[in-house]
């Protein structure tokens, strides 16, 4: 199989081409994610293979795979719906902030019910206090989205918004303004 992911023998492709394209570099690089993304869009079989790679032993491959799954979820949540449990599974407890960021950005994109919904809310509430600011900001944003349909969360969101506004951190203050604006415009 060539680096471009095309099989030498038609029909014999596997996730190995994806892994090859997602490996290497450092945490700031995307490797060749753009090629993988273009080749999995609209292909449920390939999306399933990509989701499998979110558990790869190479954390960079896992992170890039999860990043692509999140991107696909933003584009077309229905295409990721059968695989949405990846966002509330063990990856949600990762010690890597880059992975947690993708988790908290994706959670509000889906309709969760029962225990899965409780787990999604638990992740967002927990990560609204995470040390990495981007994770904190997006977790509170997601929690505010859940508060639209779970009024009991509103007090928690408002309390956290005040903490963000008083944090002295420009990114948290900006996210708090954005969330407040969204909350007021929905009234």
Residue 31: its pLDDT value, please? 65
- Report whether pLDDT(97) > 90: yes
**Segment 122-135 mean pLDDT:** 96
Each residue of 16-32: pLDDT tens digit? 888 999 998 766 656 68
DSSP annotation of 132 reads S
Structure tokens at 29: 């690089």
Nearest Cα to 139, choosing from 128, 123, 129, 147? 128
- Report whether pLDDT(9) > 50: no
Nearest Cα to 94, choosing from 153, 47, 135? 135
**Segment 39-67 mean pLDDT:** 94
Nearest Cα to 60, choosing from 40, 30, 92, 85? 30
| Higher-scoring residue by pLDDT: 4, 93 | 93
Residue 8: its pLDDT value, please? 34
**pLDDT-based confidence at 4, cuts 50/70/90?**
very low
Residue 3: its pLDDT value, please? 44
**Segment 129-141 mean pLDDT:** 96
- Report whether pLDDT(105) > 70: yes
Domain spans of the chain, in order of start: 1-87, 113-187
Residue 140: its pLDDT value, please? 97
> d(Cα 135, Cα 169) in Å, to the nearest integer?
13
Residue 26: its pLDDT value, please? 62
**Segment 103-116 mean pLDDT:** 97
- Report whether pLDDT(10) > 90: no
Instruction: Give me the sign of the Cα torsion angle 141, 67, 55, 14.
Output: positive
> d(Cα 53, Cα 61) in Å, to the nearest integer?
7
Instruction: Indicate the pTM of the whole model.
Output: 0.86
Residue 186: its pLDDT value, please? 73
Nearest Cα to 123, choosing from 173, 89, 172, 158? 89
Residue 30: its pLDDT value, please? 61
What are the b/e assignments for 79-110, b being 16+ CB within 10 Å?
Answer: bbeebbebbbeebbebebbbbbbbbbbbbbbb
**pLDDT-based confidence at 48, cuts 50/70/90?**
very high
Residue 183: its pLDDT value, please? 85
């Amino acid at each position: 199989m060539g680096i471009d992911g095309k099989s030498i023998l038609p029909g014999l492709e596997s996730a190995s081409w994806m892994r090859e394209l997602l490996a290497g570099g450092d945490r700031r690089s995307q490797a060749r994610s753009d090629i993988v993304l273009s080749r999995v869009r609209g292909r449920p079989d390939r999306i399933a293979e990509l989701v499998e790679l979110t558990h790869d032993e190479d954390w960079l491959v896992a992170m890039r795979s999860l990043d692509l799954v999140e991107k696909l979820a933003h584009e077309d949540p229905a295409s990721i719906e059968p695989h949405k449990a990846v966002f509330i599974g063990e990856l949600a407890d990762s010690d890597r902030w880059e992975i947690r960021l993708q988790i908290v950005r994706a959670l509000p994109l889906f309709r969760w019910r029962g225990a899965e919904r409780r787990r999604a809310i638990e992740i967002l509430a927990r990560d609204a206090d995470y040390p990495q600011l981007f994770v904190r900001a997006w977790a509170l944003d997601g929690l505010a989205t859940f508060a639209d349909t779970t009024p009991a969360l509103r007090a928690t969101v408002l309390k956290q918004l005040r903490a963000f506004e008083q944090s002295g951190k420009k990114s948290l203050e900006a996210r708090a303004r954005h969330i407040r604006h969204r909350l007021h415009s929905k009234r």
